[in-house]
Amino acid sequence: MGRKKNYSEAELLDMTKKLLLEHGYEGFHLKLLSEHLPGARSTLYMYYPNKEEIVAACMKRVTRDVLEKASAVDETSTLEALRQLLDIYIEESEFHQLLGDAHKIRTEHSTAAASDLAYVDEAHETLKEQLSRLFGRALAEGHLRRDIPLPAQISVFFNLVNAPNMMNLPRSEWSRLLFELWFKGTAEE
């Protein structure tokens, strides 16, 4: 008879995400994780054998959630679709920064971690394609300036995700404000 698990895999990955956001990849370790979950540290290994696989699984889970939300966006109205995408990206803005640490995960001894990170890369390509498609439509519909190259407009849009919310506005209000700033600029007309 196997040992009883004291928490679900979802709870394990939720705590992993929380601790990664608090401590970063280098500061995250299995002892820290086990201190924040009920039961023995050995329970972690019933789900994942090492730090790399836990972190990669967490990254995959967050990326999958973002991809599912982005895929559900109704693209009928180009600008509304872009606004919704920005809101989705801002919702996971802190974790987005941690995805930059994906290259630190050693995958040479873990096919599971390698597979999860491959999924993250593929999902990023899918999200990039969606943004490129919507920006192309916005340009064709006359919503965007033609004198500024599209890659520059996409880059600025995507980097709004990293803008610090110094006003501590609710996420949806902050996202709306950033979208307006991006779309209309700051100059008086």
Q: Which CATH class is domain 51-184?
A: mainly alpha
User: What gap in Å lies between CA 54 and CA 164, rounded to an integer?
Assistant: 28
Residue carrying the six token digits 């873990």 = 110
**Banded model confidence at residue 189, pLDDT cuts 50, 70, 90:** low
Tokens coding 154 = 């996409």
Give pLDDT tens digits for 75-86.
999 999 999 999
Give pLDDT tens digits for 83-118.
999 999 999 888 887 888 888 899 998 999 999 999
User: What gap in Å lies between CA 15 and CA 4, rounded to an integer?
Assistant: 19
Question: Residue range 11-29: average pLDDT?
Answer: 95
Structural contact between residues 107 and 117, judged by C-beta atoms closer than 8 angstroms: yes
Residue carrying the six token digits 């929380």 = 18
Handedness of CA 82, 88, 93, 97 (dihedral sign): negative
Question: Residue range 55-59: average pLDDT?
Answer: 96
Residue carrying the six token digits 């192309």 = 136
| Model pTM score | 0.87
In the chain, count H helices and then E strands: 8, 0
